[in-house]
Amino acid sequence: MDKEQTTIVLFSGELDKAIAAFIIANGAAAYDHEVTMFFTFWGLNAMRKEEAVKTDKGWLEKIFGWMMPRGANKLGLSRMNILGMGPSMIRHVMKKHKALSLPQLIGLAQEQGVKLVACTMTMDLLGLKREELIDGMELAGVAAYLGDATKAKVNLFI
Amino acid sequence: MDKEQTTIVLFSGELDKAIAAFIIANGAAAYDHEVTMFFTFWGLNAMRKEEAVKTDKGWLEKIFGWMMPRGANKLGLSRMNILGMGPSMIRHVMKKHKALSLPQLIGLAQEQGVKLVACTMTMDLLGLKREELIDGMELAGVAAYLGDATKAKVNLFI
Amino acid sequence: MDKEQTTIVLFSGELDKAIAAFIIANGAAAYDHEVTMFFTFWGLNAMRKEEAVKTDKGWLEKIFGWMMPRGANKLGLSRMNILGMGPSMIRHVMKKHKALSLPQLIGLAQEQGVKLVACTMTMDLLGLKREELIDGMELAGVAAYLGDATKAKVNLFI
């Protein structure tokens, strides 16, 4: 029998939404779904390497690069972000409850074979280079996403 | 014949998104779908009882409890929230047009047998207790959500 | 064989989310899906005509009309909106990369036969009149949306 398919578009750049996306993706993978996560717009920020990567960019791409958070440990929350307190509270409380952090959730997704796809159009627009993203990501466009989504029952946009 | 299934994850804590979620859920239930709403992260705030409930919590859970709005009448808007004017304008205009308020939409969903599920992981993290939520909710995790979602055609993340 | 169906609810009023919605819709239409976009709440702002349209409205509806952006060229971003710099940066970078602008994406969707549906309940609540929306839109409610969504595999809420 064919495996169930699940796709998640991560458009949003907030920590809480990225955590929700990876919890659902990891849950689906644990139930033996084939899972594709498609990172587009601000959602790509969660997948940036933390360290600065030397790249050859124009000034506008550099500004985007500086303005956008670099990786899973730098994301803000969609709410309660005031004074930067929310994200550290959430990280604290997740640790206290032994919940997986976002970097751990990303690692688990990779172990479970979740397909992590970076949107090439976003990379073009924001001037993100492949070497700025964590290793092991595929690069593809909306056509590839739709190809997976039409085989899936659960298709979420987060 | 099997009933159509519909699932909605309500992640967001804003009045307008909660209203949209319940309008779709009630519409689907009226068309005889089996509907599951899964309340996670800030989405759980819509389902809190309005009155303060005495619970035994740590200080961090208490702070979360104070910071987060208590129930459907306390939510803000995702836009036009400035000066707190937006939410009361929306509530006024909905009343004027005899549209159901969010508490009424929640009541209708319960009457129509929409399954209202609180995410146990969120409750753990934010220190929310069962007795702080409106009566009649089920408690479950991501596995239960995925079980329902894989039987459904319409799966939304709001 | 029946065509694949795809539906997208555009709830959000931000430029970036509207662009993402139309890119997915146009992609699906290019792959010969029957695509329905359902514009509700703030999502309707993307579909307003740019010029002011003389209508007969109450004062509250007039205030809503003034407060909400008029059309695809007036939308803000969900992030990096500070000082109004984000939207013009995005528009600049899209032009530089020869990506289609939102008005062009809307035009392409119409050419490709994407069904553009305005939510009648939102129009009632916000006092939007048919003549304030771009030409060629259908008007319908949640029942029509659910009718399309239950025939579709890809149903997104943006």
With an 8 Å Cβ cutoff, is C142 touching chain B?
Answer: yes
Closest chain B CA to residue A157: B157
- Please identify among residues 22-61 of chain C the ones whose CB lies closer than 8 Å to any CB of chain B: 40-42, 60
Q: What is the mean pLDDT of residues A16-24?
A: 95
With an 8 Å Cβ cutoff, is A4 touching chain B?
Answer: yes
- For the cut 70, the answer to whether the pLDDT of residue C84 exceeds it is no
- For the cut 60, the answer to whether the pLDDT of residue B110 exceeds it is yes
Task: Give CA–CA dist C49/B52, Å, rounded.
Answer: 46
pLDDT at position A125: 87
Three-state secondary structure call for residue B141: coil
Q: What is the 3-state secondary structure (H, E, C) of chain C?
A: CCCCEEEEEECCCCHHHHHHHHHHHHHHHHCCCEEEEEECHHHHHHHECCCCCCCCCCHHHHHHHHHCCCCCCCCCCCCCCHHHHHHHHHHHHHHHCCCCCHHHHHHHHHHCCCEEEEEHHHHHHHCCCHHHECCCCEEECHHHHHHHHCCCCEEEEC
pLDDT at position B75: 81
8 Å CB contact of C9 and B157: no
Q: What is the mean pLDDT of residues B81-90?
A: 63
Which residue in A11, A121, A155 is closest to C154 by CB distance?
A155
Complex prediction ipTM: 0.88
With an 8 Å Cβ cutoff, is C94 touching chain A?
Answer: yes
C1 or C11, which is more confident:
C11
- C17 to chain B, minimum CA–CA distance in Å? 13
Residues 6+ apart with CB under 8 A from A53: A129, A131, A132
pLDDT at position A84: 54
Residues of C with Cβ-Cβ distance to A79 under 8 angstroms = none
With an 8 Å Cβ cutoff, is A157 touching chain B?
Answer: yes
CA distances from C43 to C6, C10, C14, C144 (A): 18, 5, 8, 17
Three-state secondary structure call for residue A27: helix
Share of chain A above pLDDT 70, in %: 94
pLDDT at position C66: 73
- For the cut 90, the answer to whether the pLDDT of residue C53 exceeds it is no
Closest chain C CA to residue B155: C155
Question: pLDDT-based confidence at B85, cuts 50/70/90?
Answer: low
Q: What is the mean pLDDT of residues B116-142?
A: 93
Angle (CA) B8-B13-B17 rounded to 5° is: 55
pLDDT at position C85: 58
pLDDT (tens digit per residue) in A50-83: 887 777 777 777 777 777 788 888 787 776 555 4
Domains parsed from chain C with CATH numbers: 5-157 (3.40.1260.10)
